[in-house]
Amino acid sequence: MSIIKDIIVFVVLLGANLIQAITGFAGTLIAMPPTIKLIGVTEAKALLNVVAQISCLLIVITGWKHINWKEFFKMFVLMAVGMLIGIRIFEIAPMKNLLVAYGMMIVVIALCKLFLKKELELPGWVMLLVILAAGIIHGMFVSGGALLVIYAASVLKEKEEFRATMALIWVTIGCYITGQQIMLGSFDSHVIFLLIIGLIPVFAGTWIGTKLVKKINQSMFEKMTYILLLLSGILAIV
């Protein structure tokens, strides 16, 4: 049974990283709920955080010249503060309640992205709070991308700029989480096994996604992404 679960995890990694390579976000957000169900929250967080760093590093290397450094530093600082809060909440709050709330958040965001005709125009101070909230979610579930994209989409207008800047955020803030997880002993033999073998679907998904991003209609693929987000959120709730 555990072998079947591991195979499903690899399939999830392939699909999630394909999407991550195209949009620059949503990979971990999509992968987290089913992976938690398959291997548990501690192992899922450890595995997907490192996987996201590797996947995003490939995007950063190929898109370095497109990074918006001003917006990167703004998002990095607020995300880092939010992460510290999120890590603390995760330590003291009941896991089941957090997972249901997390799933509901994903469902709401996915539905908004699918059916709202235009992006929400929020005041500047509200947008900064959105970044902070994204950091809190990332500290709890290493998948705060859905909230961060609300801000990023309003300031990073070019596709390549969006992908590269968002990818650098996940590479850098992921380093702190990885360090914390190592100190807590989250990387047991099973996680290390999944990580090593999982590099195959990670690289495959990233390579395919990088090729597709130049050929697939971005609007159509974003709709597919949000449908997957919706399914992911439902999985977290049930």
Question: Measured between alpha carbons, how far is 30 from 112 in angstroms, rounded to an integer?
Answer: 16
Q: Please, are residues 39 and 190 in contact by the beta-carbon 8 Å criterion? A: yes
pLDDT digits (tens, 9 = 90+) for 116-175: 756 656 678 888 898 998 899 888 877 777 778 778 877 887 878 888 898 899 899 888
At 117 the pLDDT is 59
DSSP state, residue 173: H
pTM of this prediction? 0.75
Confidence of residue 47 (pLDDT cuts 50, 70, 90): very high
Question: Measured between alpha carbons, how far is 160 from 183 in angstroms, rounded to an integer?
Answer: 35
What is the signed CA dihedral for 166, 172, 177, 178, rounded to 10 degrees? Answer: 120
Residue 180 Cα to chain centre, angstroms: 18
Question: Measured between alpha carbons, how far is 189 from 140 in angstroms, rounded to an integer?
Answer: 23
